């Protein structure tokens, strides 16, 4: 279940830019009842943006990488089978 503040924050992200002071001021004027949540969210968003630009990207987990590769190969194999089957059906007609 979403709360009013969750909906406001969703609008803030989807219709505004949490990095923009103008959008921050606009949303604070539009939703004064959610002032604390908007300010806290904006501070967290901006801090995470700074950290993303400073910190190196996380090292990928080899187990996750293997699983992604396995799924991609399985999907490709299934696609090839479907195409081969469709081609055989066309040839038999």
The 10s digit of each residue's pLDDT in 1-40 is 678 989 999 999 999 998 899 999 999 999 999 999 999 9
Span 69-75, average pLDDT: 93
The per-residue pLDDT for 1 is: 67
**In the chain, % of residues over pLDDT 90:** 63
Integer distance in angstroms from the first to the last C-alpha of the chain? 54
pTM score above 0.75: no
Q: What contacts 28, CB < 8 A, 6 or more positions away? A: 35, 38, 39
- Measured from the Cβ of residue 68, the count of other Cβ atoms closer than 10 Å reads 12
8-state DSSP, 33: G
CB 67 within 8 A of CB 60: no
pLDDT at 21: 95
* Angle, alpha carbons 57-63-48 (nearest 5°): 25
User: How sure is the predictor about 43, in pLDDT bands with cuts at 50, 70 and 90?
Assistant: very high
CA angle, residues 42, 16, 6, in degrees to nearest 5: 60
- Output the pLDDT for position 25: 96
């Amino acid at each position: 279940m979403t709360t009013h503040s969750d909906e406001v924050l969703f609008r803030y992200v989807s219709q505004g830019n949490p990095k923009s002071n103008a959008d921050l001021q606009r949303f604070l004027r539009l939703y004064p009842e959610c002032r604390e949540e908007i300010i806290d969210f904006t501070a967290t968003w901006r801090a995470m943006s700074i950290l993303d630009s400073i910190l190196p990207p996380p090292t990928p987990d080899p187990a996750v990488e293997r699983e992604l590769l396995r799924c991609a190969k399985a999907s490709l194999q299934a696609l090839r089978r479907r195409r081969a089957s469709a081609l055989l059906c066309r040839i038999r007609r």
